[in-house]
Each structure stands twice: as structure tokens, then as C-alpha cells.
Structure 1
Amino acid sequence: MPATIDEELILRAIDEACRDWQQKFTTTTPELRQAIQELFYNCTRALIQLYIYADDNDQMKQDRVRAEHIVSKLKELKQSLGDLWPPNLDSFARDIFDIGSYHVEAAEFFSPVPFYPGDNLIMKLYRWSVYDTNGTVVYRYYLERSEIIAGQVYHVLGKSYSNGHSQIQSYGSTAPDYYQMKRHVINDLNGQGPPPIISLTVPSFEH
């Protein structure tokens, strides 16, 4: 585990926020929003470090377990605050990394979000925004979940771009872990992934 990460300190900070913020705040104030953003910043820094290495040795596997502890605590925090939680804060930064000339920012949604507003057929669980050297979003990847047939859940890594959408990797009924999806995103950006399963022309990728 990277020496700069004090997982227990971060977990305690989240536990204290769960306890103290409910007592301190009765409405969603700018002060509460700022406190949440500061906590998110510290958690994201830790998550980036815990996922920075590509090795599959025992230490790296333990680091990824520790990262999931932090993620679980963040979700508990949102749940504990209930209506105090800012309504527009539907995700948190999970990872930030560079691949060649691309800058990638990953986020996890606290709960599934419709891919298309008002349509629950396809839901977004994770998002990777890919920026070029000008800071323009050129691709977005999503872990998508659909249930076209009742009781038959299907997960896929989708890729949206300026005039289309492709399915890059199928995962079936079980959602993969973050590290597995990150590797598939990296492989696709490096041109090393499998050919798309399905490609469609769509009007926009701004989801």
C-alpha cells in the first residue's frame, strides 16, 4: 500500500462526518457542500493512489480492497445524510489518470442513473470522461446496466463519442470490479481492445 495513504484516517473522517454533519446541519447549506467537496477531494486522492499500479500481486490486491472500503463508506455517508445531501451530487470521483495524450477522469454514480432522461431501459453505473490535450471531451465510457427481459440483467462497457455509441466489453449478469473495467478502458484507448460488439449512430454523447 502506498505509504502516503492513511486509510484508517480517511475512514474515521467519513464516520465523523456521518455523525457530526447530521447534528450540525438542518438544511443543505453552502458550508455543507464545501465540507462534502473537501472530503471528496481527500478520498479521491487516496483512491487514485490505491489504483495507480497495474500489478496483480498480493499487495496491489489488498490496496484495491482498501479502496472499496473507502467507496463503501462514502455511500454510507450519502445514505446517512438523507435529504441533506445535495440533490445534484449524484456521483463521486473515483480515479484520475493519463493514457498517452489522453486525460481520463472516472466517476461512480451513487445509484444507477438513466442513460437517457426519463428512460430506465439503460442505466449508468460508472463514467470515464476522456479529454484531449485541449481539454475537450472526446469520449465517454460507461458501465451500463440493462434489463430488457425482466429478471435478466446485462452489464456492458459502453463508449460514446461525437456521433455514435459502441459496446466495448460484455460482462453479463454480474457487474465487474472497477480495476477490471479500468483495464478495458485503457486497452481500448491504446487500440488494444477487442472490436466493438455493437456500434450505433446517435445524435450526441453528452450524457
Structure 2
Amino acid sequence: MSRKATVIEIDPLMNGYQNEIENINNDVGSGKHIFLFLFMDGCGPCNQTKPQWKKIQKMLKNSHGNREDVVIAAINQKLFENLKNAGKEPMGYPCLRYIKGPSVEEYEDSSIQNKDRTTESFINWIESKVQKQQGGKWSLKYKKSIDCNKPKGFSQRQHCKYGRKMHRGGKWSLKYKKSINCNRPKGFSQRQHCKYGRKTLKRKY
């Protein structure tokens, strides 16, 4: 049964935890985006991280809340041995992991700049993995969902600052092209434009 992106918690004391673990294993096997927060009872840092992790649900509601290929779960370490393809047993807790098919990545090894245990950093981490569609481009539906009065995370702020200057279809407006300073291009795409995109004027004879 498919389910929309939600933040779930699985503990051996809860009824039906076996079914939830089975669902997670099925989700891993089907290639969904899996974000795990593995915690241990009596762990101070784990208890401090839990409230921040639970807030992910609210912040994801307007962006990825309707996606059925995103699974976000907090799981008691006592159940780790029941997980399939979740990587090696953690050396310390809390342990944050991203699983996509056979690939397992620690939160600390992710590409985001700030890796503290705050909700905003968790959102940046999730977005860095799931926001891109084929070809590395955002879907038009996702772009329209972004509120540039209150952008969430670094990537949305960058989009609101630079990305809206582009027309549909990925083409830059003439006004935006003229605004690029090729003596100091910003980012890879502007450098590529300055190197290849500018058309030279034809000589008049």
C-alpha cells in the first residue's frame, strides 16, 4: 500500500512494529528515498534530536508532503538487526542515514554545508536528495510550490535569487543574460554562458 511522505517512529514497545519494519524493508527494496534517524534509549543527544526530527513533517508538507517515494523514519536501535540493506551497525547514536537502493550514506557524509541537528538542516539534506528530477532539474510543479517570501533551505533561496530569472524550458531571458558580468560570473552555468553562450557579432563588409 502506497503512503505519502510522513515522519514515522518505530519502537519495540509499540503495537504492530513488526509490520512497520517490514514496510521499511519493502520501501528500501523498491528504491524509495529512505531517511533514517536511529536512536537509543537513554541517549541524551538522541532525545535532543527527536523534536527537531519530528518537525520535518510540518516543513515538508508544502513541498514533498505528497510524494510517495519518500520515507522518513525514527527507529529504535534495538530493531536495527531487523532492517535490510541499512548498512553496518552504527558505532554511535544518534545515527542519521540516507538509503537509496543499495546505496547507504551517513548524514555527516552528505553534500550539504551545515550538518547540525536542526530541522532546517534535515530539510536541506532531504531536499538535496529528492528535489531533483531526471536530468537534475526541478519539476515545474515543484518550482510553483516554492514560496519565495519564505524560501525553505539553501537551494530554495538560491532558486528565488537566481532561478526565477529563467523562462520555462530552461532558457534565460535577454534581460538576465545582459545582467551577467562575465568578468565575475556566478556559478557553473554563468561561466558556461560566458565561455560558449555569447554570440559574436557578424562582421559587416
**Larger CA Rg, structure 1 vs 2:** 2
TM-score, structure 1 normalization: 0.23
Greater per-residue strand proportion? 1
Greater per-residue helix proportion? 2
Looking at both structures, which has the greater relative contact order when contacts are Cα pairs under 8 Å and sequence separation is at least 6? 2
TM-score, structure 2 normalization: 0.23
